[in-house]
Structure 1
Amino acid sequence: MLWIETVRMLSADLEEPFALEFVYRNLYELTKLDWLNLQRQEITDSERSVLTELAKRLKNNEPPQYIVGWTEFCDLRFKVDGRVLIPRPETEELVRLILSENDENECLSVLDIGTGSGAIAVALASKRKNWLIEASDLSSDALSVATENADRNAVSVHFTKSDVLSAFMERKKFDIIVSNPPYIAFSDTDEVDDSVIKYEPNSALFAENMGLAIYKKIAKEAPSVLTENGRIYLEIGYKQGQAVSQLFQKQFADKTVSVHQDIFGKDRMISVK
């Protein structure tokens, strides 16, 4: 049997038809041309066995990014595994919003709360060499992955273990606080893909109080660590625009709180400035 016949057969039941190609090519460091040339060859028993096992994992909803061990975010490559969430395209929009609204020539201090894989902090550090960037997470496992991602991308980020802002209270102040915290309400589990529920860390997905618990902590604690003209940027769930903006407007009456939409027109980000 040819490679192309085996790949077609094993991909037929997959949700994403090109997932098997993506995984195999990246595990074995094949170019697109290498892959195309392979399709015309006879497949060996060992090769078929490898493909079958990969297809089984994909059919079981294991994310391709976890299988290959990395994902792309803001044109950078990040290590990802079951200890951290896979960074999403909508979070790239949050990074772009921060970059567009803050002067690249200023030396700003930035804190990324709940950094996970380090995606936001590392992406900002790669684009703004003169910004002083710190990142925190409650998970030691996540901080280990984030530290490796900063090293892999040759950027300087200082990582701290912290429950939201507890490690920074009264210690130092930041010009920008950014966070993509857990924000899915437990009652909205049915809206989350099976692969996410099964493989990604629930502690980074779900939050108490209809998904608002971490936002409330940030709103309460941020005044102690934000500079006078400091800004806050948050990713939110598409149903949380009004609730989260009201939380921060109440806490920061002298600042403008804005809801920003993603490319699909859904509420996705909050800015406080």
Structure 2
Amino acid sequence: MSNRTYYESLKWASSFVQSKHLDESAATYLLQELSHLDQTHLLLKYRQPIPADLDKRYVSAIEQYAAGVPPQYIVGTAPFYGERFVVNENVLIPRQETEELVEWVLSANPQPDLSVLDVGTGSGAIGLTLKKQRPDWQVTLSDLSADALGVARENAARLKAAVTVVQGDLLTPVAGAEFDLIVSNPPYISHAEEGEMDPDVLVSEPAMALFADHQGLAIYERLADQLKQRKVITKQVFLEIGFHQGQAVRQIFEERFPSAMITVRQDMAGHDRMVQIRFK
């Protein structure tokens, strides 16, 4: 294998991945990530011998991908909003749709100094990105999973982002506090939808970060109830939702907060994806 060129290694990997009926683009992605080469510089090296150690790691990565491990877990990082976040089996891989939620929070809140709570932070992608974009914001990250918070702390250190990290269920670890805004990308997939999901996601990504009871609405209901009980005081809440949950989540908050201003926003694909609740 050490005598192969970059092109020959990529050609083998693409063919192998294709034979497994998987996404062929993953072969290029993994080679770029492992070699630290962008597309242009990889093309320039196509006819050059690939270092034996790199080729060995590349073959291993392709075999892991064929076995169902997401490419981001294989390389250990995932891009999000211009930064790179450590990810592993304890956290979800950040999605592009969530970048749109971050952008909405930022555009709706130009103030230089706000207090923010990121509920169910996982890798910290949302809260840490907000902190990087608004350095004077006071950001708190919370999650039920101690393992997930370990990843969030690692990302905070890598990004040199000074945030507060607390462990607990929803608003419980910050009970009695006040925040200018709360943001969350909670578990929202119904267990009934498991059969429609990518098997690799089901095997690799943490179920507690994916699924919720009551048609995927349970966390929204519990969060709304805790806010109704004034466990935490806030002026506004931003939530990511499933593409078919816009009306249901609106109803959950309208029932508990009849005077609140509720906006459902679509993602770039035209699906309901985000909700903002502003309290009067």
TM-score after normalising by structure 1: 0.92
In 1, are the aligned partners of 2:14 and 2:24 still within 8 Å (CA)? Answer: yes
| SS of residue in 2 equivalent to 1:210 | helix
Q: Which runs of 5+ in 2 are unaligned?
A: none
In 1, the alpha carbon distance for the partners of 2:170 and 2:87 equals 22
Residue 34 of structure 1: CA displacement?
4.8
Query: Could you tell me how far 1:3 is from its partner in structure 2?
Result: 3.9
- Confirm or deny: 8 A CA contact 1:177 1:226 kept in the other structure: no
Partner of 1:4: 7
Q: Distance in 2 between matches of 1:73 and 1:18?
A: 19
| Secondary structure, counterpart of 2:216 in structure 1 | coil
Match of 1:21 in 2: 28
CA-CA distance at 1:31 after TM superposition: 4.7
For 2:198, the equivalent position in structure 1 comes to 193
2:144 matches 1:132: no
CA distance in 2, matches of 1:181, 1:51: 34
Partners of 1:104 and 1:190 in 2: how far apart? 44
User: Counterpart of 1:82?
Assistant: 89
Deviation, 1:4, is: 1.9
Choose the corresponding residue for 1:238, options 243, 267, 272: 243
Matches within 5 A, 1:84-163: 84-105=91-112, 107-163=113-169
Inter-partner Cα distance in structure 1 for 2:72 and 2:147:
18
**Residues in 1 aligned to 2:127 and 2:74: alpha-carbon distance in whole angstroms:** 24
* Equivalent residues of 1:176, 1:226 under 8 A apart: no
Q: Percent same amino acid among aligned pairs?
A: 41
Are residues 1:51 and 2:58 paired? Answer: yes
CA RMSD in angstroms, aligned pairs only? 1.8
Aligned length: 269
Query: How far apart are the structure 1 equivalents of 2:79 and 2:128?
Result: 12
Distance 1:173 1:45, change over 3 A: closer
The whole-number CA distance in structure 2 between the counterparts of 1:122 and 1:6 is 37
Correspondence for 2:78 among 71, 79, 84: 71
Residues 192 and 91 of structure 1, relative CA distance in 2, 3 Å threshold = same
User: What amino acid is the match of 1:7?
Assistant: L
How many angstroms apart in 1 are the aligned matches of 2:125 and 2:180?
A: 19
8 Å contact from structure 2 (residues 35, 54) kept in 1: no
Q: Distance in 2 between matches of 1:30 and 1:265?
A: 34
Quick check: 2:122–2:148 contact (8 Å CA) kept in 1?
yes
Dislocated runs of 4+, deviation >6 Å: none
**TM-score, normalising length: structure 2:** 0.90
2:222 to 199, 217, 224: 217
Which stretches in structure 1 are left out of the alignment for 5+ residues?
A: none
**CA separation of 1:238/1:33 partners in 2, compared to 1, >3 Å: closer, same or farther?**
closer
Q: Residue 272 of structure 1 is aligned with which of 260, 270, 277?
A: 277
